[in-house]
């Protein structure tokens, strides 16, 4: 995996996991829909930040390393990154 702050990412993911558990409790407690929706939007944004951190690390790590080596490996890595970006933009 490319170099990035693994602890930071794990901390964010644990927080997201807790937020999702909290949303489950809100639904089980029949809480007002709009309040639940507000929490879901917050989790979506938190996930976006995780994705962007992963992508930054991947570009700066794997893609740059492959570019230096050149040839089909570089093209494959760039295509792979582009496809991941497309999935992210369309999700």
27 lines the binding site for a copy of itself (CB under 8 A): yes
Q: List the interface residues with a copy of itself, window 7-26 (CB under 8 A).
A: 9-10, 13-14, 16-17, 20-21, 23-24
Of 81, 86, 20, 82, nearest to 47 (Cα)?
20
What token pair was written down for 14? 């644990």
d(CA 81, CA 58): 8
37 lines the binding site for a copy of itself (CB under 8 A): yes
Question: Please, what is the Cα angle at 35 between 50 and 26, to 5 degrees?
Answer: 85
Looking at 30, 71, 73, 76, which residue binds a copy of itself (CB under 8 A)?
30
The label of the residue with tokens 């939007």 reads: 41
d(CA 24, CA 20): 6
Q: Per-residue string for binding with a copy of itself, 51-90, x by CB under 8 A?
A: xx-xxxxxxxxxxx--xx-x---xx--xxxxx-xxxxxxx
Report, in Å, the least distance between residue 9 CB and a copy of itself.
Answer: 5
SS3 71: helix
Contact footprint for a copy of itself (CB under 8 A): 1-2, 6, 9-10, 13-14, 16-17, 20-21, 23-24, 27-28, 30-34, 36-38, 40-45, 47-48, 50-52, 54-64, 67-68, 70, 74-75, 78-82, 84-91
């Amino acid at each position: 995996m490319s170099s990035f702050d693994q602890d930071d990412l794990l901390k964010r993911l644990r927080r997201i996991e807790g937020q999702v558990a909290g949303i489950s409790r809100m639904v089980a407690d029949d809480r007002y829909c709009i309040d639940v929706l507000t929490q879901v939007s917050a989790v979506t944004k938190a996930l976006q930040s995780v994705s962007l951190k992963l992508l930054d690390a991947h570009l700066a790590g794997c893609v740059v390393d492959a570019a230096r080596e050149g040839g089909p490996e570089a093209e494959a890595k760039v295509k792979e990154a582009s496809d991941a970006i497309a999935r992210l933009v369309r999700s």
